[in-house]
Amino acid sequence: MTPSAPDDALALLTRLSQKPGVQSTLVLSRETGAIVRTSGLISTSSRANANGTLPTSDDTSESYGNGRKESGIQSAEDVARSVWTFVEAAGTMIRGLDGEDEAKLLRVRTKKNELVIVPDAKFLLVVIHDTPPA
Amino acid sequence: MDPAAKARKDEIAAKRAKLAELKRQRELRTQEVDASRQQAAEAAALVAPRPSRADHRKDLDSLISNLVGNRSSSTGPRDSSSPAPGRASRPTSVVSGGENVDPSTPPTQAHPPAVVEQTLSIAPLTIVYEAPADSQPETVTYNRAVQTSEPWEPQRDRSLDSDDDYGLTPSKKTPRASKRLSRRERERDEELRQNIRKEVEEELKAARQLPADDSTAITTAAQESVSARILTDEERNAEESSADYLAFIERSTKVAERELEEKFDVLKDYAVKGLEDAEDEDDGSGTTRGKKGRRVREVAQFFDERWCSKRCVSDIAFSPKFSELILASYTRNSSAPHDPDGIIQVWNMHTHNRPEYTFTSQSDILTAKFSPFHPNYIIGGCYNGQVMVWDTRDRSAARGPVQKTPLTSSGHTHPVYSLDIVGTQNANNIISCSTDGVVCSWSIGMLTQPQEYLELTTPPPAKTEDMAPTCIAFPKSDPTYFLAGTEEGTIYPCHRYDRAGAKAGVDARLSYRGHAAPIMSLDFHPTRGDIDLGDLVLSSSMDWGVRLWKSRPPAANAANSVSGAQSATALIEFVREDVVYDARWSPVKPGVFALVDGGGGVEFWDLNRDVEVPVARAVPSDRGPLKRSLNKVAWEPQEGKRTAVGGLDGVVTVFEVGAELGGLEGVRSEEWTGVKRLVGRLEGAVNGR
C-alpha cells in the first residue's frame, strides 16, 4: 500500500513504533542528518515532542512507555548524530570496497539492544529495539 | 618543418657567433690580467722571498692533515685553509698566491655548488619527495608523455615524483642539443623546482600540523555538518509531503517490520541458554490437537483494521513462486461506501498485520489467484462479471487493475465465482465462469474480448435449460475438459471444444449426482506421485457433506454413448455437522485433504488413516466475540506444510501441520498405493450396490 498522504506515512511510523520491543524510531535526512521525525527519545529542544510520532503526554501504550526511563534515554540529537556519522562511515567503507555499491540495511547488535538502520537516497530510518529474549 | 629548422639553424648560428665574441673578449681580458699579475709578482718577489712562504705552507698542511686525517690529499681543506694568517698579513701575496692556486680554481668554483647541494639535499627534501610516492605508477607514464609533447606546467609538476624529475631532466636534456635548452628554459626549470620545493614544504608543514589539528577539526566539522537539529514545522511539512518521503517511509518501515518479525536470534548461544528454552516448544499459540505428527499449529493471523473490517474473505491463494506470500480477496464493506468495493491483500508470512500490497476494484472480488506462469500477475473475478488482472509491480497509488474485461454481453454479465489459469508457460488462458452459465477463455494480454465463448445449459431431462455453475475445476492433465458444479447440486462434465461424439459444452451423457444443495467447491487430485490419482475429485456442498468422486475420462464417455444419459455416484461421502464451504487436497500427501465448515473450524482428513473422522481439527484463535464460519482454505503448494483459512470475519489464519499431514520429507509410496487400493475397494462397493 503506497501511502498517499502524510497521514498515512505517519500512521505507518506510529505502527512501527508501537510494535512490541521497539524503543524508539528516528527519521533523519540523509544529507544533513537533520531529524525529520522521532519517537521514544527525549530531545534537548522543546519542539521535539511536538514532532514525535506519539504524543508524549498520553504515552500510555503499554508496549511502549514502560520501563524505558531507567534504561536511559539518550537525547534524539545524540542518537541522530552518532547514527548519521556511523552511516557515513559505513558508506565510505562500502564505496571503498566497490565504488558502485551502497548500503541497504544496517543492523547493529549491542549488548543492550539492536539498531536497525535503513538508509535511502534522501532519508534514514532508525529503529532501536530490544533484542529478542535469549 | 623546414622553416622551423631553418629558423633554429639561424638561431644557433647567431648564438655561436655571440659565444665566439664572448670568448674573444674573455681571452683579451685574461691576457690583460696576466700581464698585470706578472708585473705585480715581479714587484712582490723583491719584497718577500718565496721559499719562506712555501715552508710556512708545508707546516700548515701537515697540521691540518693531523687534524683532519685522510683528507689531506683532497684540495678542499687546502683551499679552505689557504686564507692563512700569513697571507692575510701580506696583502700583496694574495695576487702572488693567486698564481700559485690558479690551477685549482676550477675545483674551488666547482666546490661551492657541491657544498650548496649538500645543504640542499638535507633531510626534508628527500623525505618530502618520498611522501607522495603512492601515485608513482601514474606519474611515470605521465612524465614522459608530457615532457615530449608540451612544456611543463607548475600545477602538473606538483604531483610529479621528484626523484624522477631530477633524475630525468639532465639525462633527458643533455643528449639533446644543449643549445636548444635556452637559458630561459633553464631558468624556468629552476623556478619550477623552487616552486615544487616550496609547495612540498608547505604540504609537509601542513602534514605535520595535521595530527595536532586533526581530531579537533574533524569533531568541529562533524558538529557543523551533523546539525542533528530538529526541523521546523514548515521544513518538516515540506519534507513529509514529498513523494520521496512517502515512498521511503513505505519501503523502509516494511523492511524494518520484516526485520523485527524475524524471531530467530542469530546471536543465540545454545551453550548458555539451551536448556531453558527447550520446554516452551510445546505450548505454542493456537490449537494443538492429536499426536505430534498430526499436530496443527496456528502460526499467523492476518488482519487489517482499515481494510479488512466488515469484509469477508472470498478467496485465498498462495503465491506459487514466493511461498511466504498469501493472497486474500475480500468482499465489500457496506459501511464504507467510499472505499473500493473489492480489495485484494497480499500478506507476507514475515510481516504480520501489514500487507505487502493492496489492490482494489470497483466491484466485489469473488475469486482471485496468482498466475502460475507469471508471479507478478494476480487474476480475479468480480461480482459485476469482470475479470481483472493486477500487477504487483504497479506503483500507482490507487492500485487498481492493470487490465480488465469489458462489461458487455461479449463477456460475463453475471458474477464470476470461479476461474482458473490453464495451459503451459507459453500458451495459457484464463478460463472464467459466471453464474449464468457462460464460460469464457481469455488471453492475459488481451482482455477486450474473450477468445472463446461457451454457454453451458442443463441437458434435456430438466425443467429449465438454464444452468448456474458455482464452480469449475480442471484436471491437471487435460485443459480442454472440466467439471462444473451447479447450484442444484449436480456436477456436469464439460468440454471446451467439439470432440468425437460430443459437442462443446456440457456433456449430456454423464452427470455426477449426489449432492442435494449447491456445490461450493470442486478439486481434482494433484498428481505428484508414483500412481496417477488425477481422476479423483473432491466436492463440498451446502448439504453438510464432502464427496469423493472418480471422474471418467472423456474418451470413455464416447464409447458407451448409445446407453443414453448416465449418472455416476460418489465413491464415498464424508458427512459433517455443518455446511462445508471448501475442501482441498494436500499438494504433497496423496490421502490428505483439508476442509472448512460453517462452524468456523478447519479439519484435516487422511484417507489412509480414517474415512470416518478427521485426523485433526482446529479453530482459529478468537479475534472477536463471535465464532465466524470459514469460507476458504488453501494449501501452500510447494511443501504442503501450511494451510491458510479465511472466513466471514475477514481474518486470514495460517496453520502449520505436522509431518504426517504435510511436508515433503515424510511421503511414502505406500500412501499412494493405499489410496489407490481404497479407491478400488470403494469402487467395487459402489458398483456392487
Q: What is the pLDDT of residue B59?
A: 67
Range B472-477 average pLDDT? 91
- Where are chain B's structural domains? 296-687
CA distance A57 to A63: 16
Cβ contacts from A onto B, under 8 A: 140
Question: Under CATH, which number does the domain A5-10+22-45+53-130 receive?
Answer: 3.30.450.30
CA distance B171 to B165: 10
CA distance B250 to chain A (A): 6
Residues B200-241 pLDDT 10s: 777 777 666 655 444 444 444 444 444 556 677 777 777 777
More confident: B105 or B155: B155
Homologous superfamily (CATH) of B296-687 is YVTN repeat-like/Quinoprotein amine dehydrogenase (2.130.10.10)
φ, ψ at B600 (rounded to 5°): 90, 15
Cross-chain Cβ contact B260/A43 below 8 Å: no
Which triple of cell numbers denotes residue B501? 461424439
Which triple of cell numbers denotes residue B647? 472466513
CA distance A36 to chain B (A): 6
Range A104-129 average pLDDT? 88
In chain A, which residue's Cα lies nearest the Cα of B344?
A1
pTM of the predicted model, to two decimals? Answer: 0.62
User: Residue A1: which of B225, B236, B355 has the nearest Cβ?
Assistant: B355
Cross-chain Cβ contact B249/A132 below 8 Å: no
Q: Across chain B, what does the average pLDDT equal?
A: 76
CB atoms within 10 A of CB B474: 19
Could you tell me which residues come within 8 angstroms of residue B426 by beta carbon, excluding any fewer than 6 positions away?
none
Q: What is the pLDDT of residue B7?
A: 83
Q: Left (φ > 0), alpha (ψ -120 to 50) or beta: where does A67 sit?
A: left
Cross-chain Cβ contact B228/A35 below 8 Å: yes
Enumerate the β-bridge partners of residue A26.
A38, A126
Judge whether B452 and B441 are in contact, CB under 8 Å.
yes
Looking at beta carbons, which pairs linking B497-504 to residues 24 or more positions away fall under 8 Å? B499/B554, B499/B558, B500/B558, B501/B557, B501/B558, B501/B561, B502/B554, B502/B557, B502/B558, B502/B561, B504/B454
B382: number of CA atoms within 13 Å, CB side? Answer: 29
Which triple of cell numbers denotes residue B574? 464424508
User: Per-residue pLDDT for A12 more than 80?
Assistant: yes
Q: What is the pLDDT of residue B314?
A: 93
Q: What is the pLDDT of residue A10?
A: 84
CA distance B514 to chain A (A): 45
Output DSSP code: residue B104: G
User: Per-residue pLDDT for B485 more than 90?
Assistant: yes
Q: What is the pLDDT of residue B118?
A: 52
Reduce the DSSP state of residue B76 to 3 states and report it. Answer: helix
Cross-chain Cβ contact A9/B240 below 8 Å: yes
Q: Angle between the A6-17 and B233-240 helix axes, to the nearest 10 degrees?
A: 100
Q: What is the pLDDT of residue B647?
A: 87
- Where are chain A's structural domains? 5-10+22-45+53-130
Enumerate the β-bridge partners of residue B537.
B524, B549
Q: What percentage of chain B exceeds 90 in pLDDT? A: 26
Which triple of cell numbers denotes residue B108? 674551488
User: Per-residue pLDDT for B56 more than 80?
Assistant: no
Enumerate the β-bridge partners of residue B328.
B316, B345
CA distance B424 to B404: 22
Best of B249, B280, B392 to disrupt the A interface (most A CBs within 10 Å) is: B249
Among candidate residues B621, B622, B603, the one with its CA nearest the CA of residue B613: B603
Reduce the DSSP state of residue B366 to 3 states and report it. Answer: strand
Range A8-19 average pLDDT? 84
Q: What percentage of chain B exceeds 70 in pLDDT? A: 68
Q: Is the dihedral of CA B122, B124, B127, B133 positive or negative?
A: negative
Judge whether B228 and A79 are in contact, CB under 8 Å.
no
Edge-first strand order for the sheet with A113-119 is A35-39, A22-29, A123-130, A113-119, A106-109
Residues B515-549 pLDDT 10s: 999 999 999 999 777 788 888 999 999 999 999 99
Cross-chain Cβ contact A19/B226 below 8 Å: no
Q: What is the pLDDT of residue B255?
A: 86
Among candidate residues B496, B483, B563, the one with its CA nearest the CA of residue B524: B483
Which triple of cell numbers denotes residue B462? 430438466
Q: ipTM of the assembly?
A: 0.72
CA distance B660 to chain A (A): 31
Residues B117-168 pLDDT 10s: 555 555 555 455 555 545 445 554 555 544 555 555 555 444 444 444 444 4
CA distance B487 to B435: 9
In chain B, how long is the greatest CA-to-CA distance? Answer: 165
Rg of chain A (C-alpha set):
15
Cross-chain Cβ contact B226/A33 below 8 Å: yes
Q: What is the pLDDT of residue B95?
A: 44
DSSP annotation string for B188-252: HHHHHHHHHHHHHHHHHHHHHHHHHHHHHHHHHHHHHH---PBPPHHHHHHHHTSHHHHHHHHHH
- Residues in chain B closer than 8 A to A120 (CB atoms): 248, 251-252
Enumerate the β-bridge partners of residue B440.
B432, B453
Q: What is the pLDDT of residue B553?
A: 79
> Counting beta carbons within 10 angstroms of the beta carbon of residue B684, is it exposed (0 to 12), middle (13 to 18) or buried (19 or more)?
exposed
Q: To which H or E segment does residue B15 belong?
A: helix B2-47
Q: Which of the four pLDDT bands, split at 50, 70 and 90, describes residue B53? A: low
Q: What is the pLDDT of residue B434?
A: 93
